[in-house]
Chains A and B, each alone.
Chain A
Amino acid sequence: MSVKLKQHWRLTAIVVILLGFAGWKGLGQFTNVGYSPVQPIPFSHRLHAGINHIPCMYCHAGVEYSSQSPIPPLNVCMGCHSVVDANRPLIQRIAKAYASGTPFRFVRVYQLPEYVKFRHSPHIDAGIACQTCHGQIESMNQVTEVHQFAMGECINCHRARNYMPAAAIRKHRDYQLAYLPSLDRHINAPVDCNTCHN
């Protein structure tokens, strides 16, 4: 046996490294929780959404129609801040950027792979709160990723709210079936692969 191992030490090493890589890869993909980059302007969701109770969709307008949740353009900021706190240095930075037409480059926090086509509008339409995925955003000064955006999270939620074709159950048998109490309206949250992958 030892002779064989010795003979195949290269292979063994490769297998070990492969396993290690797979483990690292698995971890690496799902450890975005806690990612909280510093943004070019220290916009505080806590101040706006939490303390001042500005609705999310006041600034992220169009999320109920669009696949994306639009990052508010500077003219939305200036809608209030041309009056509110207009003299504070940070606001003046915004005013300057708006006047010169050079928007800020915000660092992206939530990012899905290219083969996942997540769409915001049907989730808004289904009454899913923003906090379901984005955490207690109204208490964050700097946006932090709080959820692993792994497929299990999507599928469990979808599965709880929907019919399931037999085939789809077979395909997802490795995920725990978790039936949540049904909502009062029928929501057709499909679990077909093509719902997100096309």
Chain B
Amino acid sequence: MSVIPADTSDFNERTRMEHQNNQAESEPNRPGARALGAAPSAGGNEGPAAAAAGAEPRAEQREAGDGPAAWAAATGANAIAAAGGEYEEEEPRLWTTLEQLAGDPAVAALAAREFKNDPRPSTAPGLFPIIGQSAVPAAPAAAAQDGQSGVDRRKFLQWSTAAMALATAACTRKPVSYLVPYAQQPPEIIPGMANFYATTCQECSSSCGLVVKTRDGRPIKVEGNPEHPLNRGRVCARGQATFLNLYDPDRLPHPIRLRRGHVPPPAAGPRSPYVRFNSASPLQNYYLRGDRGTVPPQITPGEPVSWGEIDKEIAAALRRAGANGVLLTGTVHGPARTQLIAEFTQFFGMRHVVYDAFNPDALLAGQTAGYGAGVVPRYFFDRAEMVVTFGADPLAQGASPLEYMYGFGHQRKLRLSTGGSPVEASLAARKNGYKPQRMSRVVAFEPAMSQTGLNADTRHYVLPQDLLPVALAVAHQLVVVDKRSAFANNPAVTAALAPYAPAEIEKAAGLKSGVVAQTAAELWQHRGKGLVYASGLAAGTALAAELEAVAAFLNSALENEGATVDGAVSPSQQMQGSNADMLALCDDMRAGKVQAIVIYGTNPAYTLPQAADFAAALAKVPYVVVLGQRLDETGRLANVVLTSLHGQESWGDAEPQKGLYSLVQPTIAPLFDGRAFEDSLIAIARTAGATQFDRQVSAAPAAAAVAAAPPAAAGKTAGAKGKAQAQAATPAAAPAAPAKREPMDFHAYIQQVWKTQLYGKYKVAGSWEDFWTGVLRQGYFDPMAEQRAAAGQPRSYRPAALAAAAHAAAATGPRPSGDEFAFSLVVSPLTGDGRCGNNAFLLEIPDPVSKVCWDNFVAVSPATAKRLGWEHGDVVEFEANGARLRAPILRQPGVHPNAATLAVGWGRTSVGMIGNGVGVNAFPLAGVQGRQIITSGAVVRLRKVPGVYYDLANPQGNNYLEGRKVALATTLEKLQGNALAGNVPPQKDESIWHNGGTSDHTFPGNHWGMTIDMNACIGCNACMAACHSENNVPIVGKTQVQVGREMDWIRIDRYYTGAYENPDILLEPMLCQQCVNASCESVCPVIATMTNGEGINVQVYNRCVGTRFCGNNSPYKVRRFNYYAYGEIQYERGAPLELALNPDVTLRSRGVMEKCNFCLQRINAAHIKSQQLGVPIPDGGFQTACQQTCPSEAIYFGNMNDPNARMMQARGPRGFEVLANVNNQPSIDYQLKVRNIPVWKSAEDQA
């Protein structure tokens, strides 16, 4: 065993290959690294002396030969005969922030103090140095709240006694409350029991299947539909946060008419620096000042209108407009919806334009050039063993992100080379080590670190301008140099690729020599099982279509087409928008060719570039109708805004991939005076005289079945009190009135379309009623499952497309030089395109890469920032494509020195009380070139704004490790030689509990535990959102996060290792470890926390007196103290927000410690069920919320007393306990991170 001193830079190598090639030059290349690395490591990283001291006892232990045995005991696994396992300790120099890496004394001070808890971040010395004066007047407010409000102890006591006296005088019984039963109880409802409905998520157009838990007619939790082919039971963070959108008090309460041009701006104007730099959103004011009574009410401008009146007006306007009318929507798919829109537009003779914030124009152009037909292919990430991305982020911004996340994460898990499940691989590893195991390899070429890049084994930063040449160089290497693939002898291809010799491209792009050759060789090695992916905002240069054409070429050449890429059988329909159509529409509007426009499901006033000048174009349209759940930026420019419904309130259908049909059914009656978009279309068309939406009542039995919808108010979506399923299942009483024409609502319309198009077309056996009820229960209809899985015949690639791309690539446009930056827009997976902008969960859950919340920022390389003298808190001003913007900078490791990125989806101005003015809107910075929208590659100059300081909230910097190795990693190659590679031998302290190590806790029945596979964790934060939703975890606001008071029960820690330019990443989900010898328990003076009979460290809120000793003594920093009544405040915002609360979980009050408890309410429910059935709880009988939603199944949960539990079997020899030396005996076993960095062989060796 060799202990490497901490300051050796060997650990900084990106790949072995790089190391071999560039050992000599690695240091001179990195002056910044040397300077930073040489700084005294006061931040807690062990210096050489400490490492040497630590080495001695470990060596002794090894001589005693009890290393592996001790390890086995430590993990609680069965004795594992890890073949020749030997601890080979690396020195993971973990760091989380640049301040820590640089050895900032403030970090050491914070680490020593453990908790931030400083109410004045802006004035704290050292850690957040102030440059100039603060633009943020938040500090005094914070100080006033935190015990410095002038109320001293004596006053407080005097007041409390007075209050007590008054309370005694006015004593009564507890407040009287009422029990109100149903008048007519629906048969499927038992008060207090949950019902579950299958539906389809409507938060984005990828349309994943959901199972919605409703209690007493209100949905409270979503989980993935485990049978749905798209998401297979998983839900992303946005899906989990859906109820904050549904129950949002800021939704538009009723339809309104506006005076165009006279709509008052939202509370604070976008020009105000106060809002632009979002020192405090209204929510934060709310928290900070405590002025709960003065929350500004949501002001709805305009005047309310009645539905009948407005339908007439719209119908008349659309009649008048005729062919000059336009229906502008976001992506809409699903047979009934598509047909309805077709019938509607046909009836009025109007045009339908589809536009979203992110559109596949470039992808379609590349596919059309390559294959003749433009489709968005379906990518099988679950079959890809090698993924190469070019400026793309499929995990954050794919057409079907959850499907990609599922596949990507599963392929990251170790498996036997012969196949099988990851659990089988773990079991095999216990016997034979990891010898024959494999995992996927991910290589990313990108300008700045994306979520996919975060998970890449090898990451290369290149400028957006260089993405296309590098892709062509890979093709050159593959076809011309290595003479591989079916195109090797194609003269057109070789001629086109001739100018892109890797050596020159690598030099120009700043890549290490040999990178291209290695990538090409590895891709060929994994041919038929690889994936080249190049769709994303950061790849959206003027040559994005050419890049897509080259990516398509690579996929074809590597035989991935038809294997991992399906463009023939079941392509994706999840992205149908078109930038070109939208820009053409803008031109038409400017030319006065549009007389009336109906806009739904898209927000062009917010998402279009400034150069498109949408507001001015729309002003030329005489009549504008916007349908939306809230009054958004586009709605403010309209004549009338109609209230539409949330996905949980409406009927609908979806066809996310060709041949996969998914159904949307309501789980709650509309909360506001709203009407579904589809029902509005029907009502408007009927008002204008359309007859195809009428139905004959009681004409034929078939029609009666179709008419099973309950009588609802004119056109209103049915489904009161979440009993949609029963209504559909039980035929309605036949109305008495004979043959009368009645409006058909969309519920009946869907049934009609599904009956004729699906039930009839696919010749389903059984009756229509059975089919419909079955689909309602299942949530989807997948008649072509086998064909869809087969991915179809490979399409043949036209070499001319490659030639055109290669020709176009010769002119890559301007490159940044010196202090210039190539600017790219990027997407955060949480905020997406900004449509969830008022969702507090998504604003507070940190960005996976930067870990910054409540803001977006310009990410620049730390080295460049250092050269330019930029510090934390600086604000830059810049101009891109004619739009000017100010935004704070973030020094983000892994960004190209000449690249800068800014996330879109922030800076909403009209979304609601929470989201207005949070962050800055980056969409206007995109460029318009012809009919193309350019999101990447603009050359900009960033100018620091003097005298402005802006503090970002970064929860990852709220705690620091004192050089402890909490997250471990190794490489696949090392692991295959040694099953214990990278693992740290446990040198356990003596426990203060009984018997010198084991307490007197015994767990005769169940002992709940968890296994977390760090390989599979992709950092998406879905677990955080699920935990928030399940456990009523409150949101605290930016200022509270800044002082370290975030309340997350689970978080994903992101650690960097290596040099700061392009570090390696370790993602580690961190939650309460449910220790057997819990150190938090032994310090609680009131025994409010204790290990229960099943090994869970329970927190008894009503017993807790808030000493915070436990939080202090817990080494994992997972206990959260409720400084204010965060939960109560959050839900005091107004009705109906409190309906989102889980009634099975106590809403914690102020002054109480809280933390993860493995979803105790679910454990209790499982116990009750097992007691009633008289059988023990089976393995997998219930799931924790985080485990249930994890898109990559990184979390296993089960009974540690059951060796056959899947969770126990997933514990392979690479498991470790976090801080095992503290001897807390945690119940969570982490499987250390394995990087797939193969030893590079040259082309000759491979052959």
Contact = CB atoms under 8 A, between A and B. Distances in A.
Contacts of A184: none
B712 interface: no
Interface in A177-191: 188, 190
Interface in A94-119: 97-98, 100-108, 111, 113-117, 119
Contact of A190 (B190, B1093, B1101, B1102): B1093
A194 B1096 contact: yes
Given A68-B192, A197-B1101, A198-B1160, A75 B183 contact: yes
A35 interface: yes
Nearest to B1001: A167
A125 interface: yes
Interface of B is mostly: loop
B191 interface: yes
Given A111-B177, A122-B1171, A163-B1004, A195 B1164 contact: yes
Contacts of A97: 183
A24 B168 CA distance: 8
A156 B161 CA distance: 35
B184 A73 contact: yes
B1000 A166 contact: yes
A105 B191 contact: no
Contact of B1146 (A28, A61, A117): A117
Nearest to A66: B192
Contacts of B1091: 167
B1146 A70 contact: no
A194 B181 contact: no
Nearest to A100: B183
B1092 A194 contact: yes
A97 B1096 CA distance: 49
A111 B179 CA distance: 11
B262 interface: no
B131 interface: no
A171 interface: yes
A194 B1098 contact: yes
B1092 A165 contact: yes
A74 interface: yes
B192 A67 contact: yes
A32 interface: yes
B1168 A122 contact: yes
A117 B1157 CA distance: 15
Interface string A108-140: 100101111101011001100000000000000
A105 B181 CA distance: 8
Given A70-B191, A101-B183, A115-B1102, A106 B1146 contact: no
A18 B1167 CA distance: 42
Contacts of B1087: 170-171
Indicate the member of A21, A32, A101, A106 with the most B CB atoms within 10 Å: A21
Given A21-B164, A73-B181, A192-B1092, A117 B192 contact: no
A111 B1087 CA distance: 26
B762 interface: no
Contacts of B179: 71, 105-108
A95 to B, nearest CB: 11
A17 interface: yes
A1 to B, nearest CB: 23
Contacts of A37: 176
A55 interface: no
Interface string A27-55: 01000100101000000000000000000
Contacts of A171: 1087, 1090
B340 to A, nearest CB: 33
Contact of A106 (B178, B1096, B1100): B178
A75 B1087 CA distance: 48
Interface in A141-198: 163, 165-168, 170-171, 188, 190, 192-195, 197-198
Nearest to B1098: A194
B149 interface: no
Contacts of A122: 1167-1168, 1171-1172
A73 B183 contact: yes
Contact of A68 (B168, B184, B191, B1092): B191
Interface residues of A, number: 61
Chain A contact residues, majority secondary structure: loop
Contacts of B165: 17
Contacts of B184: 73-75, 98, 101
Nearest to B1146: A115
B1185 to A, nearest CB: 13
Nearest to A68: B192
B3 interface: no
Nearest to B999: A167
B228 to A, nearest CB: 27
A194 B1146 contact: no
A72 B184 CA distance: 10
B193 interface: yes
A32 B176 contact: no
A105 B178 CA distance: 6
B1098 A192 contact: yes
B1130 to A, nearest CB: 16
A111 B190 CA distance: 20
B187 to A, nearest CB: 10
B617 interface: no
Contacts of A3: none
A198 B1161 contact: yes
Contacts of B1146: 114-115, 117, 197-198
A14 B171 contact: no
Contacts of B1004: 163
Given A62-B191, A165-B1001, A74 B182 contact: yes
Nearest to A103: B183
A24 B1163 CA distance: 37
A17 B161 contact: yes
Nearest to B185: A73
Interface in B173-229: 173-174, 176-185, 190-193
A104 B1004 CA distance: 48
A129 to B, nearest CB: 18
Q: Which among B1087, B1163, B1164 has the greatest number of chain A C-beta atoms within 10 A?
A: B1164
Max chain A C-beta neighbours (<10 A), residue from B183, B1000, B1102: B183
Contacts of B1147: 114
A80 interface: no
B1145 interface: yes
A9 interface: no
A74 B181 contact: yes
Contact of B183 (A20, A35, A98, A115): A98
B157 interface: yes
A97 B184 CA distance: 11
Given A66-B192, A70-B192, A106 B1092 contact: no
A116 B1100 CA distance: 10
Contact of B1157 (A75, A104, A166, A194): A194
Contacts of B1002: 165-166
A69 to B, nearest CB: 8
26 contacts: A28-B171, A62-B190, A70-B191, A71-B181, A71-B191, A72-B181, A74-B184, A105-B179, A108-B176, A115-B1101, A117-B1161, A121-B1172, A122-B1171, A125-B1172, A126-B1171, A163-B1093, A166-B1001, A190-B1093, A192-B1098, A193-B1103, A194-B1164, A197-B1098, A197-B1102, A197-B1146, A198-B1157, A198-B1161
Given A105-B179, A170-B1087, 16 more contacts: A35-B173, A66-B192, A67-B1144, A70-B191, A71-B181, A74-B182, A74-B184, A97-B183, A107-B176, A107-B178, A116-B1102, A117-B1146, A165-B1001, A193-B1092, A193-B1103, A194-B1160
> What are the nearest 7 A-B pairs in CB distance?
A68-B192, A62-B190, A73-B185, A66-B192, A73-B182, A192-B1092, A198-B1160
Interface of A: 13-14, 17-18, 20-21, 24, 28, 32, 35, 37, 61-62, 65-68, 70-76, 97-98, 100-108, 111, 113-117, 119, 121-122, 125-126, 163, 165-168, 170-171, 188, 190, 192-195, 197-198
